[in-house]
Structures are given as structure tokens and as C-alpha cells.
């Protein structure tokens, strides 16, 4: 039988790791009633603290922001990336059913772009609600056949349903377009994530 190797070129790195202190925090997340609070430029309904968590906000347990950053530094070290990093933004997103987030990236309109962006999936985060979207249409322009039945379907797809679960941290380039779809499983189960952008300290720029 012929052997064929598929070599992905110019792939986008999505780093996935456990939040090592998830078990210490998972019972400290406080449920809040369904509510909508978002910047005017956002479209989909969501309860977010963007661009920062406000002082005294009970949704964020004491110490978790610092512990997530230490975990991110470990991920950076594992991948041979600089560990001299800090937050540019750190906020939470709360979703119930009929709430979500439109396609977006984490690029800054002021060109002060993050080094990396990330999400900590804290509570009631289910696979099937988080999507990553393709911006390059070069393959779609060549899709003259039914690629959905091809072994290369993941290369032609416009969107990928990215697997997630509570306790995971993902890191991605700020240019990655992603979205959150509404999930009926969150009707009575508050979905909580902490999102962040990190920047290099001035000493390593």
C-alpha cells in the first residue's frame, strides 16, 4: 500500500495545559444570577468584567490571578519562550444559555498587541461551545470537491470545534479568531472562564 505523509505548513500553535491548582479553586467559584454586562462594541449577550476584574469582585477568588500567571510561565518555559511576562488584561466571562460571544480576536486597535492570549476554563465548560475559526481562505478557494468526506477535511474546514474541559488553560496567538456558542447545558449551570492577554516585560522587549 502506498504511504502518504501529510505535512502541515504554517500551522497555528494552540498550547493546552492543566491549571495545576484547579482543584484548589474549583469549589470557590461563586454562582451569580444570569445578567448581561458587556462593552458597547460587543454583540452577543454575556456577563463580562472586560477589560479587568474590578477590585472586590467575588467572582474571582483571592490569589487565582497570580497562580494562573505562574502556570502560564511554566507553559512558556516548557516551550522555550520568555517567562518575563505580565498581564495586559485579565477578565472573566460568565455565560448561561442564550449567551455567548461572537467571532473575535485579541489584537489591539492601538497596535499594542499582546505577546500571547489565553483562557482558563474554570466551571461548566463543555466541548461543543468553543470554536476556533480560519482566516486564510486559500484552501476554500480550491474546494472543488466535497472535502467533508476527505481525510483533509480539517484543513478545508472554516471552523474547528475545539475540545475543552474544566481545569484547562489554552494559550494562542492574539490573532486567532474564536467564538463561544450558546449551550443549552448552561441553562442552570453557570459557565465561567477567565481570559487574559500577556505582554513581555520591558526588560526582554
Q: Read off the pTM.
A: 0.91
81 pLDDT tier (thresholds 50, 70, 90): very high
**Structural domain tally of the chain?**
1
**Domain assignment of residue 194, yes or no:** yes
CATH code for the domain in which residue 121 is found: 2.60.120.620
**Domain assignment of residue 103, yes or no:** yes
pLDDT digits (tens, 9 = 90+) for 149-183: 778 777 777 888 999 999 999 999 999 999 999 99
- What pLDDT score does 151 carry? 81
**Domain assignment of residue 96, yes or no:** yes
Q: What's the domain range around 80?
A: 15-135+150-204
- What pLDDT score does 11 carry? 86
pLDDT digits (tens, 9 = 90+) for 178-202: 999 999 999 999 999 999 999 999 7
Average pLDDT over the chain, rounded to an integer: 91
**Domain assignment of residue 47, yes or no:** yes
**Domain assignment of residue 6, yes or no:** no
- What pLDDT score does 29 carry? 97
**Domain assignment of residue 142, yes or no:** no
pLDDT digits (tens, 9 = 90+) for 26-68: 999 999 999 999 999 999 999 999 999 998 899 999 999 999 9
What is the number of residues in the chain? 205
**Domain assignment of residue 112, yes or no:** yes
Using DSSP's 3-state secondary structure scheme, residue 156 falls into: helix
**Domain assignment of residue 181, yes or no:** yes
- What pLDDT score does 139 carry? 54
Q: In whole angstroms, what is the distance from residue 106 CA to residue 171 CA? A: 12
Q: Which contacts qualify for 7-14: CB closer than 8 Å, 24 or more apart?
A: 8/155, 12/172, 12/173, 12/176, 13/172, 13/173, 14/132, 14/162, 14/170, 14/171, 14/172, 14/176
- Identify the residue whose cell numbers are 498581564: 87
- What pLDDT score does 56 carry? 87
What cell numbers appear for 189 in the block?
449551570
pLDDT digits (tens, 9 = 90+) for 100-121: 999 999 998 776 889 999 999 9
Amino acid at each position: 500500500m502506498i504511504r502518504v505523509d501529510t505535512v502541515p505548513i504554517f500551522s497555528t500553535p494552540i498550547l493546552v495545559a492543566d491549571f495545576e491548582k484547579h482543584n484548589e479553586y474549583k469549589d470557590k467559584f461563586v454562582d451569580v444570577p444570569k445578567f448581561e454586562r458587556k462593552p458597547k462594541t460587543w454583540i452577543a449577550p454575556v456577563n463580562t468584567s472586560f477589560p479587568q476584574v474590578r477590585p472586590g469582585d467575588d467572582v474571582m477568588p483571592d490569589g487565582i490571578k497570580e497562580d494562573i500567571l505562574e502556570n502560564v510561565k511554566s507553559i512558556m518555559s516548557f516551550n522555550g519562550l520568555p517567562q518575563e511576562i505580565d498581564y495586559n488584561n485579565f477578565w472573566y466571562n460568565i455565560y448561561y444559555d442564550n449567551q455567548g460571544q461572537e467571532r473575535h480576536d485579541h489584537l489591539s486597535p492601538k497596535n499594542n498587541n499582546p505577546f500571547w492570549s489565553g483562557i482558563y476554563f474554570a466551571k461548566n465548560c463543555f466541548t461543543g461551545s468553543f470554536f476556533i475559526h480560519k482566516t486564510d481562505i486559500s484552501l476554500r478557494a480550491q474546494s472543488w470537491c466535497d472535502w467533508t468526506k476527505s481525510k483533509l477535511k480539517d484543513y478545508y474546514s472554516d471552523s474547528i470545534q475545539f475540545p475543552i474541559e474544566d481545569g484547562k488553560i489554552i494559550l494562542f496567538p492574539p490573532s486567532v479568531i474564536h467564538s463561544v456558542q450558546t449551550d443549552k447545558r448552561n441553562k442552570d449551570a453557570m459557565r465561567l472562564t477567565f481570559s487574559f492577554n500577556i505582554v513581555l516585560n520591558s526588560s526582554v522587549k
